[in-house]
Amino acid sequence: MNAEPLFNDLIGVMAVITMIPVFFLWLEKKTRWRIFDVLPAIIWIFLTPILLSNLNIIPKSTPIYSTFRAFAVPMFIVLMLLDINIRETMKVAWRGAAVLTMGSVGVVIGCVAAFFFFRGSLPPDSWSGFGALAGSWIGGTGNLAAVAESLDTPEAMVGIVVIVDNFVYLAYFPLILTCKRWAGSFNRWTGVSQEEIDHITDAVASVEKKTHEVHFKDLVTLVGFAFTAILVANTIAGFLPELRPVLTVRTWAILLVTTIGVALSATPLKNVPGTEPMAMMLVYIYMTMIGAQADLSQLAGAQWFIAAGFLAIVIHLVFVLFGAKIFRMDVSMAAVSSVSAVGGAASAPVAAGYHREELVPVSIMLALIGYALGNYLGVATAYLSSLLL
């Protein structure tokens, strides 16, 4: 008989689960070690609980995980979408939004094509994994979690997706930074003029920024509206038809809560501060729990999934290149449009600042549009992949 994990009760498990992100976020900020430039804190936050659960320090399976996921996943969807400002983004960077959309379509086609070519070497439930991967590369980690949750993707498969996501990203992100050296030839190829490039600088100067000062009433307001949005989404989902294996009640609920989140972003609720820190707190704890549920003995086949991931990202980049050509964009804006999807709101400002500092606000707004698209297109990717079985 297997021994009980060292921490098995509610308080013990949650203490370990919550202190893992606390420790690595503190370590990254305090030490500024160069290793965090290659493997950021989120990677260690995911890998550490894998080690702890496989060493039987915390459990691989417990009702605590499923209970947390039931409210945390839809809640961080609502919170992160409240920051989106589609009107402002389209006003100052409509070309970037168009290329981001083309790149997102490229992710969908790339993931479906990669699944088609590699499906013989992958587990039978990999179609849901490619949906989660597409959600991540169109939106971010929150979308990966949301799509995986909506499709009931097995924990082992989610573990593989996280590994693929980050392994491919290690090769992709340096390319996004390096492409700045090719600005001259790239811009001549797309046909963009210096006047058009300078116009972006003037347009982003008027972008409104939300205050970072958070009060008690702000947090209560956000939590109250988030739970109400979840209740409405779950209620409506119960009346909608299922189309298995993809469109289940759970999938409908995630898509509906995404739609409600986008709708709420057009209300005064979008001005309430505190959305980003609350959403990221839930995402990091969720990723810690996903790591804890990963069984190392079930991670076989990751090498084929990694190869498939590289094929998918190449197809995404081809779509970005064609988008830049069609919409006459310079290399910096094209790079920011791509990384705003694949890297999300965490990496987009870094890449934008490296290319041109004035693109930082635009990169954040584009990343938020990626958040809005990620759940819809991630589920669409899973559905298209399932048709190939």
Q: Does 242 fall in a domain?
A: yes
Looking at residue 131, its pLDDT comes to 95
Name the H helices within the chain.
10-31, 35-38, 41-54, 63-81, 86-118, 126-138, 141-150, 155-178, 183-190, 194-204, 216-237, 249-264, 275-292, 302-326, 331-342, 344-355, 360-386
Q: Please check whether residue 194 lies inside any domain of the structure.
A: yes
The 10s digit of each residue's pLDDT in 232-259 is 999 999 998 887 666 788 888 888 888 8
Q: Is residue 15 part of a domain?
A: no
| 174 prior amide bond cis, ω within 30 | no
Q: Cα-flanking dihedrals φ and ψ of residue 151, to 5°? A: -90, 0
Confidence check: pLDDT of 297 > 70: no
pTM of the model: 0.77
The answer to whether residue 153 sits within a structural domain is: yes
Q: Residue 103 pLDDT > 60, yes or no?
A: yes
- Tell me the C-alpha distance between 162 and 230, whole Å: 26
pLDDT in tens, 338-370: 988 887 766 777 677 778 767 777 777 788 888
Q: What does the alpha-carbon distance between residue 168 and residue 316 come to, in Å, rounded to a whole number?
A: 13
Q: What is the DSSP letter of 182?
A: G
Rounded Cα gap, residues 207 and 209, in angstroms: 6
- What's the pLDDT score for residue 381? 96
pLDDT grade for 207, boundaries at 50, 70 and 90: low
How far apart CA 134 and CA 75 sit, in angstroms, is: 21
Residue 359 inside a domain? The answer is: yes
pLDDT at 209 over 70: no
84 is a domain residue: yes
Is 11 a residue whose pLDDT tops 90? yes
Whole-angstrom distance, CA of residue 77 vs CA of residue 257: 7
CA distance 316 to 112: 12
Distance between CA atoms of residues 348 and 367, nearest Å: 7
State how far the Cα of 316 lies from the Cα of 361, in Å rounded to an integer: 23
Any domain includes 175: yes
Q: Phi first, then psi: give them for residue 247, nearest 5 degrees.
A: -85, 85
Residue 134 token pair: 């597409």
* pLDDT (0 to 100) of residue 241: 87
Asked if residue 24 belongs to a domain, the reply is no
> pLDDT class for 301, splitting at 50, 70, 90?
low
Confidence tier at 61 by pLDDT (50, 70, 90): confident
pLDDT of residue 122 exceeding 90, the answer is no
pLDDT of residue 313: 95
The residues facing 243 across adjacent strands are 247
Q: Quick check: helix, strand or coil at residue 247?
A: strand
Which residue in this structure is represented by tokens 């109400």? 228
pLDDT value for 167: 78
Compute the Cα dihedral for 132, 77, 292, 153 and give only its sign.
negative
Q: What is the rounded CA–CA span in Å between residue 16 and residue 165?
A: 25
Task: Give residue 95's pLDDT.
Answer: 83
For 56, counting Cβ atoms within 10 Å of its Cβ (0-12 exposed, 13-18 middle, 19+ buried), the class is: middle
Q: Which of 194-208, 318-332, 372-386 has the lowest mean pLDDT?
A: 194-208
Confidence band (pLDDT; 50, 70, 90) for 291?
confident
- Domain total in the chain: 1
More confident residue, 291 or 296: 291
% of the chain exceeding 70 in pLDDT: 88
The Cα angle at residue 49 between residues 46 and 54, in degrees rounded to 5: 130
Q: Range of 155's domain?
A: 72-275+297-386
Helix axes 275-292, 155-178, angle to 10 degrees: 120
| Residue 172's pLDDT band (cuts 50, 70, 90) | confident
Average pLDDT, the chain: 85
Of 4, 14, 2, the residue nearest 292 (C-alpha) = 14
